Amino acid sequence: MESIIIWYFTIILIAVIFIPYYIKFRRSQKQNRERKKEAQELGIDRPTSQFPFINQTFCIGCGSCVLACPEGDVLGIVYGKATVINGLRCIGHGFCEPACPVGALKVGLGDIKERDDIPIMDEFNQTNVPGLFIAGELGGISLIRNAVEQGKRVVQQIVSQRGETPSDAPDDLIIVGAGPAGMSAALEAHRNGLKYKIFDQQDMGGTILKYPRQKLVMTQPVEIPLYGRLNKSELEKEQLLEIWYSIINKHQIIIHSGIYVSGVRKENGLFNVISSEGEFKSTYVVLAMGRRGTPRKLEIPGENKSKVLYQLIDAQSYQDKKILVVGGGDSAVEAAVGLARQKGNSVTISYRKEKFFRIKKKNQDRILEMIDGKKIKPLFNSSPTEIKDHSVTIEHQDKTIEIPNDFIFIFAGGIPPFQMLKEMGIKFGGETKTAVINWTKTP
């Protein structure tokens, strides 16, 4: 009798523990399957740059990679295996890879033979054009840490190739782009005594300049040339820019701002860099500009008005204004949130799709909270059709509406510089059979 009672208590105890877990597990599995199906239908499960590639044979479905991802919603567990849910949200932090206990996951570019947006490079980021290097997100790898490391590495390779023989060119190296990759390359060139120039069509900072005020920039620990190790994993935009400016001032780094580079040709062993300020010659070239290229326009009447902007530098400069933000990506959402937090602003966001799905989870949570709080008015399934002096006409759900407006910020993506790169002779992934992922199981 006593043993029967013990068995009953054991069964009840197991049921109390197991049944809620099983119900929660089944619910999670169903949600992940639905999210995966929706992502596939929307086409957001596929890679755009670096990406978590999962070997289903090795995966044990422990979920460590899901918990390690700081973006959220990138990975999930479906049918007992890790899978990519929202690939567009992955920006390559790489925390998921070391978190996997069996080495079933790698973050990289995968097999690039079907990718026409990934330039072909060797292990030192040199393209198929000898002496022409790529550093930073233009090569498909994001994050400030990666950009700094690549900028430093390509110049170290240039120093190795150059040897002790000086060049007849006015400059050993021309760097195009003054973001983290370009600045790192310039600092490494400065440290090694190279003759160099660095051009940027804007100013030092690259993409960071476009971030809203006090936006957190995740860097991860990184060694910056002529500065030392930056151990902080999170910095505000202003803090990171202050570090760059302090290095520039200390070492008297000259940045040629406001110069647009339109082409690079190799002639008689030297590169001829064609720019808005003329032509410059060098032995080596590092392309460190971003992938976004020039802003994509809506091509609607009134878009040439001065109140139309394509980036937000400082949200605090806009107060007591009626503002329309066009777009549904991270840049648009961050701008809308930043502007809505300013005194007296009335902010509307217009997006051509029925909901946000190409944004980081943190951004999604923030904008949905502000929409719920009536601080931002969303217009989904909408497109502006005309910009007037004091209003904007919008097609919204088969109706034409007109809303008062002081400023309009357009974030419709950019026209990437890939065609320009191809004209330089650079080949892309679609032109090769080389794969960059080789699976080796962790012992």
Q: What is the CATH number of domain 295-414?
A: 3.50.50.60
What's the confidence (pLDDT) of residue 44? 59
Confirm if 255 and 198 have CB atoms less than 8 A apart. Answer: yes
Which residues on neighbouring strands pair with residue 438, listed in sequence order? none
Average pLDDT, 10 consecutive residues per value, the chain (443 residues):
72 71 66 66 62 86 87 80 80 81 81 74 91 90 84 94 73 92 93 92 66 59 84 74 86 88 90 93 92 84 92 85 93 92 95 83 89 95 95 94 96 86 87 42 38
Closest CA to 244 of 144, 348, 374: 144
Confirm if 58 and 104 have CB atoms less than 8 A apart. Answer: yes
d(CA 312, CA 310): 7
- Judge whether 132-293+417-427 and 295-414 match in fold: yes
Q: What angle do CA 419, 421, 427 make, to 5 degrees?
A: 100
User: What distances in angstroms separate CA 256 from CA 32, 199, 277, 431, one per listed residue?
Assistant: 49, 5, 10, 34
Phi, psi dihedrals of residue 406, rounded to the nearest 5°: -105, -40
- 132-293+417-427 adopts what CATH topology? FAD/NAD(P)-binding domain (3.50.50)
The domains of the chain are located at 22-112, 132-293+417-427, 295-414
Q: Is the torsion defined by CA of 192, 198, 204, 205 positive or negative?
A: negative
Q: What is the CATH number of domain 22-112?
A: 3.30.70.20
d(CA 76, CA 74): 7
What's the confidence (pLDDT) of residue 7? 73
What's the confidence (pLDDT) of residue 69? 86
Would you give the distance in Å from CA 227 to the centre of its chain? 25
d(CA 127, CA 431): 13
User: What distances in angstroms separate CA 249 from CA 187, 226, 242, 369, one per listed residue?
Assistant: 12, 12, 10, 42
Closest CA to 426 of 291, 265, 186, 260: 265
d(CA 22, CA 19): 5
Q: Which residue has the tokens 């740059």?
A: 49
What's the confidence (pLDDT) of residue 391? 96
Q: What's the burial of 72, exposed, middle or buried (CB within 10 Å: 0-12/13-18/19+)?
A: middle
Closest CA to 181 of 244, 230, 242, 274: 244
